[in-house]
Amino acid sequence: RSAGIVGAPFCKGQSRGGVEDGPERIRAAGLQRRLQQLGCAVKDYGNLTFEDMSPDEPMGLLKSVRAVGAANQKLSEAVRAVKEDGHTAVMLGGDHSLAIGSIHGHSAAVGELSVVWVDAHADINTPLTTYTGNIHGQPVSYLLHELRSKVPVLPNFSWLKPCVSAADVVFIGLRDVDPAEHYILKMLGVKTFSMSEVDQLGVARVMEETCDYLSARGKKPIHLSYDIDAIDPSVAPATGTPVVGGLTYREGVYITEHLCQTGLLSAVDLVEVNPLRGQTEEDVRSTVSTAVDLLLGCFGRVREGNHLPDYRLP
Ligand code: ARG
Ligand code: MN
Ligand code: MN
Ligand code: MN
């Protein structure tokens, strides 16, 4: 197993500065070294650089359309290259608008995907239903075949073709869903495990049902798009849109352990870590450290302990 890390220090899918520092903070917490200790080979492709697109006038409510379009086109190429080099792709955000490019590039390299979207939010607003105008609340609508006619072609988005079917997506952790998003999820019959279902079924059954549901449609490579705000703000407070009542640290990590052991995990996004949103340095440390643990879970770390295959007792 090997990880190909791409940093995407991009924040214009939402309006709070600081989320562009996510990649450096997560790296500084020792991500590469700790993956290597697990026996995972790591190639760090470094951070992408994004052009300043100004003037980038809002289109109606929609903010920074050209910057988001251009950044995602670049990210799509980068993730595609990581997959073509044979790695499991790790995209460090940045805000969740980056899932557009990450999932598109992943799909360009490997074909049809299953998507597991772990988030307090559904991020399935369209450019016409959004009332914040933030594209980080919309990436899923840009990616779904079924919503093609509901998403107008936007400047710097002409490269993007929908590449995911609604039946190949599972949401976990939802607890702040806008009315239009709820309507879309019901209309398309998307599989969702809100926090109510996590409470009702427990995380183990949620993951079992998630994997049964996805594998019934064929064992496609899995794209895990993990928004750190899925985790409860008591554990991961340094994020732009925290919502009470989230996943515990243990539930959050369990999701990654379970997906890892399917052997199908092919790309992971870890987004919305915003070091400027913590009240204290401890808030930031706890958020970043949780992000790292989620990524380690994706690459085989288990809580019973690990040792390398060539380990010899001294
Ligand atoms: N539903 C809200 C919106 O569309 C919040 C989205 C939050 N998304 C996120 N990736 N944190 O703006
Ligand atoms: Mn900024
Ligand atoms: Mn979210
Ligand atoms: Mn999100």
- Percent of the chain scoring above 70 in pLDDT: 100
* Cβ–Cβ < 8 Å for 120, 175: yes
Nearest of 203, 297, 294, 229 to residue 257 by alpha carbon: 297
What is the tens place of the pLDDT at every residue in 167-180? 999 999 999 999 99
* Mean pLDDT value across residues 104-127: 99
37 alpha carbon – ligand 1 mean position (Å) = 35
Q: Is the minimum distance from the CB of 134 to ligand 1 under 6 angstroms?
A: yes
Do the interacting molecules here have an ipTM over 0.90?
Answer: yes
What is the tens place of the pLDDT at every residue in 245-265? 999 999 999 999 999 999 999
306 alpha carbon – ligand 3 mean position (Å) = 31
**Residue 136 appears among annotated catalytic residues:** yes
* Whole-number pLDDT of residue 2: 98
Residue 200, SS3 per DSSP: helix
Question: Structure tokens of 299?
Answer: 């690459």
121 alpha carbon – ligand 4 mean position (Å) = 6
**Of 87, 96, 104, 106, which one is the catalytic site residue?**
96
- Percent of the chain scoring above 90 in pLDDT: 99
What is the tens place of the pLDDT at every residue in 263-286? 999 999 999 999 999 999 999 999
CA distances to 29, 159, 225, 250, 310 from 34, rounded to whole Å, are 9, 36, 21, 19, 17
**Of 87, 104, 106, 136, which one is the catalytic site residue?**
136
What is the tens place of the pLDDT at every residue in 189-206? 999 999 999 999 999 999
